[in-house]
Amino acid sequence: MTMRVLVALLVTAATVGLAGCGGGGDAAPATTAAPAPVEIRISVAGGRPEGGIRRETVKQGERVALIVESDAAGLAHVHGYNHDLNLTPGVPARLEFVADVVGRFEVELHGDVEAQIADLSVIP
């Protein structure tokens, strides 16, 4: 029993330490500015998202505005939510939706090129 307590203490210390170091946010949630949607802008060139696959985290219930500008026509699809965005070359296409389902969702290009462009995490 004492060993369990010891390990639990050690682990608690470790996790507190980890949380302390690793907390710094890569996600930038739209703070208190109430109804403004979280904008996710992605440029697609040559069938690839510029700067690599975009990873964004939003909170459940937030509005998300996905803005995709592509150099080729096609379709961007938000899996799970099953939203589609028609892409016209050179014209930014915008899709707004409420992130009401929790989980991770792939945003993929469909058409001539099949590629993932974003990975959206919706947390409670």
Partner 1 sequence: MTPALLAHGIGGVRDLPVPEWMFSWGAAAVLVLSFLALGTLWRSPLLAARAPGRPLPGPFSRLLLGRTLRLAAQAVSAALLVLVFATALAGEPDPAANLAPTFVWVVFWLGLVPVTVLLGDAWRVLNPWRAAADLAVFLLERGGREARPVLAYPERLGRWPAAGALFCFAAFELAYREPSSPRALALAIALYSYVTWTGMAVYGREAWLRGGEAFSVYFGLLARISPLAVRDGKVVARLPLSGLAGPERTPGTLAFVAVMLGSVAFDGVSRSSSWVDLAARVEGPYVLERPGLAETLVTGLSLLGLVGGVGLVAGAYLTATAIARRTVNVAAPLADQFLLSLVPIALVYAVAHYFSLLVVQGQFALPLASDPFGRGWDLLGAADVQPNLNPLSPNTVWYVQVGALVGGHVAGLAVAHDRAITAFTERGPALRSQYAMLGLMVLYTVGGLWLLSRG
Applying CB under 8 A, the span of 6-14, 35-43, 62-70, 89-97 interacting with partner 1 comes to 6-14
Residue 42 C-beta: closest distance to partner 1, Å:
14
Q: What angle do CA 19, 24, 25 make, to 5 degrees?
A: 120
Burial of residue 122, with CB atoms counted within 10 A of its CB: 0-12 exposed, 13-18 middle, 19 or more buried: buried
Nearer to partner 1, 36 or 114 (CB): 114
Q: How many residues bind partner 1 (CB under 8 A)?
A: 42
> Residue ranges of the alpha helices (H) in 1-124?
2-22
- SS3 assignment, position 22: helix
The site for partner 1 (CB under 8 A) is made up of 3-4, 7-8, 10-11, 14-15, 18-19, 22, 46-48, 52-53, 55, 75, 77, 79-82, 84, 100-106, 108, 110, 112-116, 119, 121, 123-124
